Structure 1
């Protein structure tokens, strides 16, 4: 039998990761998993058999690209990892089915009803008495004081996001209501709940402690008949379950029986998650999610593998263990450990000026130290006091003064000792004129390099990117401009940038900076050989004549000395602008090619020849703004174009 190929969408989401965790517990070899998401470094991507990049589910062309990828990967079933995505997939179920792609999601109409919390009572009328009452803002204006306190939440929100407590009418009238929120009756914990008093006290302080919540997971077959269910009592932190305890669902049976009648009417299939609380008036429901959840994987470890049951049992009709939640175990999600920088004033320093036998000097790891800018930056770093320089390159750098030099193989294999590294500056990359294979290899190496560095949690990682990620444009480009990478080099840089952005969302120990560097210009052999402006200036400085076309075009060119200064500036500067930032590094001004050549003729005493060009073929400019680097980081270039031209004469 061919392996069943599952596409797990939103692979970086909590639900997506939870589905992956469940698939790991399947019978070995039963399925293949393909992680689908719009970032190459999503946490769960490396835990799937394969992974593919697709657009976001709100982007144009999402379904079309999803169909293409599914065909290429032989995917026959898609599992959504996000509420909005489940709705999009269900809405396109027929279109996807025409290509042999199934969707593990409830019907579109049912998903729509579950998303609208205000509609629960009317939509699922068979179970109406079990739902907390919901109000609109206008309804509350005419209501009595006895309805308070209330929970305010987005009408179509999810995962306990954007929830607040409305303690009284004063809180209500202080709100600038946008019409997108509802106000729900609070399901007070039953009097015999040990946390009931604490919960009521927290409400008086305007806090929603989210205690004693019940998660009821129901699994329906193709005929909308309930097959299995389980219940847990969850303790949450910031809306996320951190402890789950098995719960006997028998007291919930009256609700389950009534709710199942509604589900049969709506044609439910697969997982339906119900969240509520046991109150003095019985079980009260405040949330319904027709999908797997963030604790699906944790339930699977306790014996209730609902993903396996739906995929293998209900869809593939293969022998499969019936899910059963262990009553002997609990599930826990522990908080992550974190390393932070200790201020110098709190470091215990010995008489020798060393902290616990370890130097307190800042340690910098530089990749690409044998390259053009890397070599120049290395000179500057080695001249700095209280700085220890480590390098990593294709081959070890034998330069004197380097504390420790490694090659990439040593780093990726775990042989290199990076403990204590404070700043990583990643400048190693294939050059723009190299082929796409080299750019792809550089992307892969960069991702592995960055992940290896994160094992020691450096305080800061800087990636040297390129202005080419923006593509040509008539506009002056800021860090917020849309990306249009046109070359394989630019596309490779974007992939690494996306990887870094994803890494930044998974750790709060390292701050990430992406420096989008202008095209570098200067009288250095490598630049003269590979960079157009440098080549022209070299010819003019030698008394030659250069041909030129598209004289009105402007491209930001930064003096090589300013580029090195910028790299040093951001290496030495403490990060103060969040955990992820993008900064353009360019010249103070960007003259046209004609202005550059005129200045060169004047200062170098040479000439250029204008070549005819089709006016319709004139490319757009590529001009970036460095205003952010100036205003927020205090970096300014020191060399204008005339100074750069003079450097060729010298």
Structure 2
């Protein structure tokens, strides 16, 4: 088996550390190369090699640094672990792959636009015959608010068209609460409230070339400030199979996460995140190592067997790591980074 050189970009994020830890558990022969903008990010010290790069918003400088790392380390695959870098990799994916032959596990702008804009997400689901929460826009559809409320009844959800987690999301129980939340606002959605009687679910689907489904796992999740802090894995195959069908139509590339609730026993997706999830590490513990699966399928060309998923619960607890100060100082000197007080 050949050694595969893997770059984890944005390696200090929750996703980045989870990807690195997942790959360290793999039986594959891997050389893990981490890059980040700060020397004080954990992923740099868990991986085998570490690089400091400029922010991805400085596109020219970032691309130059990235191509240098790819050439020096003979990189075969790139995992994007920072939400701040997704736009850069999406727009430059084809150029990077053409120049270097590297597999970049992220999506093209067309797919990102469908997922990042929740109005487009709803319309994608609607157009392809999938379940979707009834949704209107504000201010574009403000004359439809009365009709919308009559159809879905209170409570209703107010949330921004773009954004992740629970930031800017409100549950509204009566008319009097609506106007203060909508006043002088743009790019807002009013959406049917999906009951949480059965809980909330997150389904992770990994896809390869042309939307080929490689793996799927559904967790019933328990949230704190929009993040999964605990999850149950059980017999959720109907939900997983449904999300696989959605993925086959959407055709994302790499990891993709579907957030949903059940209404009348049917899965209603209300958010699609085309990236690694905060539950990436949980999934690995339960038997679905998404990063390894992508390397085996897309880099090594191996067939992927259906993974047996543990029926268990996972509770997240953050861990502190000791890092020798000399390593931090060495990295600062290597990349000419000034020490900050």
Instruction: Please state which band the TM-score falls in when normalised by the shorter chain.
Output: 0.7 to 0.9
Pairs within 5 Å for 1:155-554: 155-175=161-181, 176-190=183-197, 193=198, 212-252=199-239, 255-256=242-243, 258-263=245-250, 267-280=251-264, 282-318=266-302, 322-327=306-311, 329-334=312-317, 444=329, 491-492=336-337, 494=338, 496-497=339-340, 514=341
- What CA distance in whole angstroms lies between the structure 1 residues aligned with 2:103 and 2:328? 33
Deviations 1:493-544 (A, max 9, x none): x2x32xxxxxxxxxxxxxxxx3xxxxxxxxxxxxxxxxxxxxxxxxxxxxxx
Secondary structure at 1:248 match in 2: coil
Deviations 1:152-206 (A, max 9, x none): 333221233332223333222113343133232221124xx4xxxxxxxxxxxxx
Question: RMSD value over aligned CA atoms?
Answer: 3.0
Secondary structure at 1:142 match in 2: helix
TM-aligned CA deviation for residue 302 of structure 1? 1.1
On the 8 A contact 1:6/1:32 being kept in 2, the answer is yes
TM-aligned CA deviation for residue 85 of structure 1? 2.1
Structure 1 residues 285 and 228: CA distance shift in structure 2, 3 A? same
Secondary structure at 1:65 match in 2: helix
Structure 1 residues 73 and 160: CA distance shift in structure 2, 3 A? farther
The answer to whether the aligner puts 1:42 opposite 2:25 as a matched pair is no
TM-aligned CA deviation for residue 40 of structure 1? 1.1
On the 8 A contact 1:126/1:259 being kept in 2, the answer is no
TM-aligned CA deviation for residue 260 of structure 1? 4.0
- What CA distance in whole angstroms lies between the structure 1 residues aligned with 2:281 and 2:293? 13
On the 8 A contact 1:306/1:323 being kept in 2, the answer is no
What does residue 599 of structure 1 align with? none
TM-aligned CA deviation for residue 261 of structure 1? 4.7
Deviations 1:400-447 (A, max 9, x none): xxxxxxxxxxxx999xxxxxxxxxxxxxxxxxxxxxxxxxx8972798
Structure 1 residues 177 and 262: CA distance shift in structure 2, 3 A? farther
- What CA distance in whole angstroms lies between the structure 2 residues aligned with 1:253 and 1:15? 22
By relative contact order (CA 8 Å, sep 6+), the higher-ranking structure is: 2
The answer to whether the aligner puts 1:3 opposite 2:3 as a matched pair is yes
On the 8 A contact 2:39/2:328 being kept in 1, the answer is no
On the 8 A contact 2:103/2:298 being kept in 1, the answer is no
Deviations 1:60-100 (A, max 9, x none): 42222211222222222111113442332121112212123
Deviations 1:567-617 (A, max 9, x none): xxxxxxxxxxxxxxxxxxxxxxxxxxxxxxxxxxxxxxxxxxxxxxxxxxx
Structure 1 residues 42 and 120: CA distance shift in structure 2, 3 A? same
- What CA distance in whole angstroms lies between the structure 2 residues aligned with 1:249 and 1:305? 18
Structure 1 residues 442 and 222: CA distance shift in structure 2, 3 A? closer
On the 8 A contact 2:214/2:293 being kept in 1, the answer is no
TM-aligned CA deviation for residue 280 of structure 1? 2.7
Once structures 1 and 2 are overlaid, which stretch shifts more, 276-285 or 296-305? 276-285
What does residue 142 of structure 1 align with? 144
Deviations 1:92-113 (A, max 9, x none): 1122121233201133211121
Secondary structure at 2:209 match in 1: coil
On the 8 A contact 2:207/2:253 being kept in 1, the answer is yes
- What CA distance in whole angstroms lies between the structure 2 residues aligned with 1:244 and 1:295? 9
Pairs within 5 Å for 1:564-643: none
On the 8 A contact 1:8/1:33 being kept in 2, the answer is yes
TM-score of the aligned structures, taking structure 2 as reference length: 0.86
TM-aligned CA deviation for residue 236 of structure 1? 0.9
- What CA distance in whole angstroms lies between the structure 2 residues aligned with 1:442 and 1:272? 34
- What CA distance in whole angstroms lies between the structure 2 residues aligned with 1:247 and 1:126? 31
What does residue 510 of structure 1 align with? none
- What CA distance in whole angstroms lies between the structure 1 residues aligned with 2:131 and 2:317? 33
On the 8 A contact 2:205/2:244 being kept in 1, the answer is no
- What CA distance in whole angstroms lies between the structure 2 residues aligned with 1:258 and 1:171? 38
Structure 1 residues 413 and 317: CA distance shift in structure 2, 3 A? closer
Structure 1 residues 118 and 260: CA distance shift in structure 2, 3 A? same
- What CA distance in whole angstroms lies between the structure 2 residues aligned with 1:253 and 1:71? 39
What does residue 63 of structure 1 align with? 63
Structure 1 residues 178 and 300: CA distance shift in structure 2, 3 A? same
TM-score of the aligned structures, taking structure 1 as reference length: 0.47
Structure 2 gap segments, 5+ residues each? none
- What CA distance in whole angstroms lies between the structure 1 residues aligned with 2:20 and 2:327? 29
